[in-house]
Chain A
Amino acid sequence: MNDATSSTETKGPPPPPGTPVSPTTEAEPVFSPLGYPQRLLAPGLTYASITEEVASIPLRRIRSGWWWAAFGVAAALLFLLVVAVSWLFVTGIGIWGVNIPVAWGFAIVNFVWWIGIGHAGTLISAILLLLAQHWRNSINRTAEAMTIFAVMCAGLFPLLHLGRPQVFYFLFPYPDTMGLWPQFRSPLVWDAFAVSTYFTVSLLYWYLGLVPDFATLRDRCATRGGRFFYGVVSLGWRGSAAHWHRHQIAYRLLAGLATPLVLSVHSIVSLDFSVAILPGWHSTIFPPYFVAGAIYSGFAMVLTLLIPFRKVFALEGLITPRHLNNMALVMFISGLLVGYGYFMEVFMGLLSDDPFEHAGTLSRLWGAHSVIFYPVLLCNVIVPQLLWSRRIRMNVWALFALSIVINIGMWLERLMIVVSSLSRDFLPSSWGDYWPTFWDWATFLGTMGLFFTCFLLFLRLAPALSMSDVRELLTPGEEGPPVDEPQPEAKV
């Protein structure tokens, strides 16, 4: 962005003279005694330069080559989704690999996977906000966006997997001509409420954070249309102290609501399984173990998105090794919790004298399902042990690779939970296997398309980093490396 100053189309004031343009390659990291990178932001950032760096992505369409390439691929996949879904509605659920006994297949696997991914966003943003973890400020926006889009993908599947999607609304309470209501004992109804609530609240939370930044874009946008658009979506924000005051209250309260919400949603998703009596599903460890898994896969996905993003748009100054390191650590710890979950499942399975539970566990250990159990173990427990080493955590490429591995691992885990328990349950006479069809894969990849299309559009339309939040970290007036606590001057 060395052309920032020379840019002609950017309206508004040029950055104050003498502002060192923020380095595209981060300065040598500074380490704490414990060996953690300390810098939250690269040195030499100003309000203006931060704004410039972030705003230029939507306003000046930089790096459009990369963007278009990615968008092409995503759009193609999205088209695949449209085809797959149309065909599904025409012919029926039979085009998938589901059968009796394995009546749930990819659809539910993908649902749990996506909703899991959808957890990191709100979690990073809300919990870290409440815990005053300032390193959240440069990554929360992207994470929240990821949440929204992941939940959208997740929300698709429960609808698609219905035998009669045209009457999905039976799931919701409304005065019908039959005098009937949803059956509130069913975890699926809980799902319907949990997911829709989660989506709504995340959306509000995200948008609330966006409003001031939209105002910034409005004020820096060159084109009339752009000014109009951002003018509308920023609701005429003018940064008035009174507004800021209420905005902050609402924002923190929402965070306070979102935090238990995040935990509840994946607990409820886990209840889809643990409420059932199936060996391998009927287990009390599920809620915590699912939540841990959600955070795990969520952070993995954030890394998968942020690392290339930060590279392509040269944001190393705002998303520093410290951010990556912190995320890696959170991911690592939640990973260990997941590992504990696996261990407990096997342990309880072997311990219990319930023959069915027992048989199920054995078939995972060295029976029909070991072929999937061990890959899961490898991806989610063994490989992530690399994160013990700082050098791995500092190495973006290693982190990126690792995050991919974990994403795959977590998807496999859900496959293991859904399919293996169903295909070998109580009566050997009804045992049966499950094989996905082309349309199973098409639908899965298709939702990837949906996800990335939305995400790329988001990069082009909205500030991908929260400028107002980052500004808070700068010492007002002068430049220099910010420190963790807000400036004494700032609060009087």
Chain B
Amino acid sequence: MAQIFRPSSNTVAPGVLVALALTPLVLGGVVWLLVWSPYSTAVGVPMNQAVPFSHQHHVGGLGIDCRYCHTGVETAAFAGVPTTRTCMTCHSQLWTEAPLLKPVRESLIANEPMRWKRVHALPDYVYFDHSIHVAKGISCVSCHGRVDRMPLVAKQETLYMRWCLDCHRHPERKLRAPGEVFDMASRDPSPEVGRQRLKAYQIQPARLLDCSLCHR
């Protein structure tokens, strides 16, 4: 009988076989990269807003405290976004004509709210409470990064559950002294300081891993 296949087939066939075996691995890897890439996490991707509000200028430059605008952060789950009034308290005096701020002025005149694009969005089934984190010494920086250095705010962390758990497993690594919480420059504590603060704040890490803490 004649040969059905050319000699080259002897290298092709095993090659194909190996390739088939590897495909699932490769695919998995691709998905993994995709999931962790900024494409889906939006980490480090600045969000364009109607008014290009610069935290760098207001916080870093002018040194305005977070709580001046994000009023709810100590009392409510929702940190709160400043009302048009809040912006106008200063900008009725400063830069009253600045074209950049036109939308703000219009909003006030038309009594039509500003519309900001969400930068940090959690799924609807996750219930995050700013007030308790702030009260227990978690600094703004720990999740939002050095906002005072951002001309336009961008996500610093993936906000994936895995990331939440990292901190909920070892809160002591992030705890700030009560005074430093809103201090952009504050640093993560040394291990023993962290442990002391853990006691001071009366945090039971074990409890922090219960599903019911964030999912209801």
Contacts and interface: CB of A to CB of B under 8 A. Distances in A.
A235 interface: yes
B4 A177 contact: no
Interface stretch (B87-95, B98-106, B110-118, B156-164): B156-164
A232 B13 contact: yes
Given A177-B35, A235-B13, A236-B13, A228 B4 contact: yes
Contacts of A18: none
Contacts of B5: 231, 236
B13 A177 contact: no
Q: Interface majority SS on A: helix, strand, loop or mixed? A: loop
B22 interface: no
Interface residues of B, number: 14
B4 A218 contact: yes
Interface string A229-272: 00110011000000000000000000000000000000000000
A175 B10 CA distance: 37
Interface string B161-183: 11001000000000000000000
Interface string B1-32: 10011000010010000000000000010001
A227 to B, nearest CB: 5
Given A232-B13, A235-B13, A177 B1 contact: no
Interface string A451-472: 0000000000000000000000
B114 to A, nearest CB: 32
A235 B158 CA distance: 48
Nearest to B169: A179
Given A235-B13, A236-B13, A179 B4 contact: no
Nearest to B35: A177
A178 B1 contact: no
Contact of B160 (A174, A177, A227, A235): A177
B2 to A, nearest CB: 10
A231 B165 contact: no
Contacts of B160: 177-178
Given A177-B35, A236-B13, A227 B162 contact: no
A457 to B, nearest CB: 21
Interface residues of A, number: 15
User: Which residue among A176, A178, A179, A235 has the maximum number of chain B CB atoms within 10 Å of its CB?
Assistant: A179
A179 B165 contact: yes
Nearest to A176: B162
A177 B32 CA distance: 9
B13 A179 contact: no
Contacts of B161: 177-180
Interface string A150-188: 000000000000000000000000111111100000000
A484 interface: no
A364 B160 CA distance: 51
A9 interface: no
A177 B165 CA distance: 10
B15 to A, nearest CB: 13
18 contacts: A174-B28, A175-B32, A177-B35, A177-B161, A177-B162, A178-B162, A179-B161, A179-B165, A219-B1, A227-B4, A228-B4, A231-B4, A231-B5, A232-B13, A235-B13, A236-B5, A236-B10, A236-B13
Q: Lowest 10 A-B CB distances belong to which pairs?
A: A178-B161, A177-B160, A179-B162, A231-B4, A179-B165, A227-B4, A177-B162, A179-B161, A178-B162, A177-B35
Given A219-B1, A232-B13, 17 more contacts: A174-B28, A175-B32, A176-B162, A177-B35, A177-B36, A177-B160, A177-B162, A178-B160, A178-B161, A178-B162, A179-B161, A179-B162, A179-B165, A228-B4, A231-B4, A236-B5, A236-B10
